[in-house]
Chains A and B, each alone.
Chain A
């Protein structure tokens, strides 16, 4: 318990120090989010946010201008894709073309659970249990096993 209180104390006190200034980021949130999702085309593998390359600076300015014009994030992305191709998007579009990419992880998980299900169906625990026991005996046995497993 002491440890928990101590940890909490640290967390409270330290977040207290970090609190006051979240506002800066809030002003440019949209621009920031866009920078993070766009690729610096001339760099090895960096987003606009992480790049100082001249082209990246130009693109950042373009994004800012478009935002000021009142364009939405989606419109800006669409504009950039038309100009530079989908390569500029670090997050591939959620379309039929990229279906494999987006559904893949789900398929992996489902496949995993399915295989496990089959395995458990083939090897049910009940196979081990003796069917000749009476219900009262089963109850007693289960209690003993549970007690042991608990320890």
Chain B
């Protein structure tokens, strides 16, 4: 009964969101306030009903109702509760329902926070959100319905892909979708601005925080997925340039560009057309990502349930929304007035270069990801585009971006003078070169290690220097503290995020340049020495988990002057899905990660293949990403960047 109710709610929302699209649009056409105002009600109503619908599916999973086809296919009664819940979005149908839930959530949030915006603008935004919602809900109902019942209910579920049963992955999709779908808000705002025909302060003040929130979620979401890949896939790597990873990386790159261009739009009232275009592109990349993940057009380690007809539908949605938006842009963009002008050498100029680089990076990832399909279509030959390609083209793109990042905050707006900051640039440059040279010389690093470490130092030192200069020099310590406490939070946010990038770059460089891999057979009682760390293979025990059985290796880790620790890599077997998996064991601290994988057993369980990866500074990668996300959150808490920005003048306008 609850399932049918959920099903009904979903079908109802299809109509409601269609109304959310149509009625305000008619309201704008015929200048009727009451028609336009209906969009608020439909937005709240859609969210409430989708929430009910979503909970009914959660209910089916939690109670293991195997009369529902989706639950029978993807769940199992013995699964731990958290994975029963996360199983809701661990498949195509359920994850789309989550997608729509988040979409309607954003619409409701925009409606709630935007009550005081000009009615025409906000109702057009909600109308566009309604159109996106109706497209996706019809997609769910007609091709991927999660509520279909089985005529003969199953007694037991078929289980759930074991490698997906992980805490990081359980919360990865919600964060990722909060990011993907968050970009729909800036998209809808851009469409509304194009339709209204003007981009004013309110528009700009709205777009920046909403981009920021989507960007923060996207950052966390991607990091969670990558963290999962690191801990579960068992190869000591954390990024594989896999099509599905690229699918989430492209919107991130576009959102990063958007984030920076919206600063120019907000502070200097220029680059507005470009900001609109980026907002459109960023959301299009989200849709494209959805298409790539679900259509199965590309070979990926993250194979999702895929079906050509679904792929076709999403491709049509993609063409409709992207093509439509771009057409509208082409028609209207020339009417948008560009505000203040600037010289090439200025903060605006630096941010433009940032935008060129990030947009090119996104385009490059797109090119590399789609190239195999393209070549296959043209001359029917198969080509692989893998990590070596992406590393070869991506690093040259990012190096100038990081070089620029350290000193562009020092440039003044509009017209900068290089001589004013030359001294600082030279000081930071020399310091970083000297430090890097010493370190890389002592530790015998390669040229690429030198480059990475240098960039890290350059960015950290440059950012700290810039921060100190912003607060002021030649003042007493007390005054310095006082002044720095009075700085806006967005200033802290930017510095923290940039330092995060630096930490990330150092982590990536050091962990790959000084990584040590060992792969060898090992028998109980043997020991392996890796970088002065002694690993003793003590025993293998059999353990039973909630829905798996495993062989668990016991390794003693001995380090000089430290207490011994133990690591327990496992080889698990999941009877429900008849799958073997390897659970790596990781010893992790801020200096290094020691990652061990117990492989196949050889010679009647006497010996095993052991793989050990020693990666220094690996945790700095995650630390860097956390700093980036925290920087974004700090900026969001800045009073100027409230999500529901209005001014007194605007609310007065509404009351008229």
Contact = CB atoms under 8 A, between A and B. Distances in A.
B531 interface: yes
Given A19-B444, A146-B417, A150-B412, A25 B393 contact: no
B360 A149 contact: no
A100 B383 CA distance: 13
B341 A104 contact: no
Q: Secondary structure of the A side of the interface? A: helix
A44 B393 CA distance: 23
A15 interface: yes
Nearest to A33: B388
Contact of A109 (B368, B397, B515): B397
**Interface size class of chain B, counting residues whose CB lies under 8 Å from the partner chain:** 35 or more
B442 A19 contact: yes
Given A22-B514, A44-B299, A112 B360 contact: yes
A101 B367 contact: yes
Contact of A15 (B299, B352, B412, B616): B616
Contacts of B464: 3-4
Contact of B301 (A20, A37, A44, A146): A44
Given A7-B460, A19-B442, A45-B243, A86 B344 contact: no
A8 interface: yes
Contacts, number: 167
Interface string A3-24: 1100110111011011111101
B557 to A, nearest CB: 14
A105 B359 contact: no
Contacts of B243: 45
Interface residues of A, number: 58
A139 to B, nearest CB: 14
A109 B360 contact: yes
Given A105-B393, A125-B342, A125-B414, A86 B386 contact: no
A24 to B, nearest CB: 5
Given A21-B516, A25-B515, A45-B243, A116 B352 contact: yes
B323 interface: no
Interface string A102-126: 1011001100110010001001110
B194 to A, nearest CB: 19
Interface in A135-151: 145-146, 149-150
A92 B290 CA distance: 26
A36 B461 contact: no
A92 B531 contact: no
B387 interface: yes
A17 B388 contact: no
Contact of B341 (A19, A44, A49, A124): A124
20 contacts: A4-B464, A8-B435, A15-B443, A17-B592, A19-B442, A22-B514, A22-B516, A32-B517, A46-B301, A47-B386, A49-B235, A50-B233, A86-B382, A92-B371, A101-B385, A108-B359, A108-B363, A112-B357, A120-B344, A146-B417
Interface of A: 3-4, 7-8, 10-12, 14-15, 17-22, 24-25, 32, 36-37, 39, 43-47, 49-50, 52, 85-92, 98, 100-102, 104-105, 108-109, 112-113, 116, 120, 123-125, 127-128, 145-146, 149-150
Interface of B: 233, 235, 237, 240, 242-243, 299-301, 303, 338, 341-344, 352, 355-357, 359-360, 363-364, 367-368, 371, 381-389, 392-393, 396-397, 412-417, 420, 435, 439, 442-444, 460-461, 464, 506, 510, 514-518, 530-532, 590-592, 599-600, 616-617
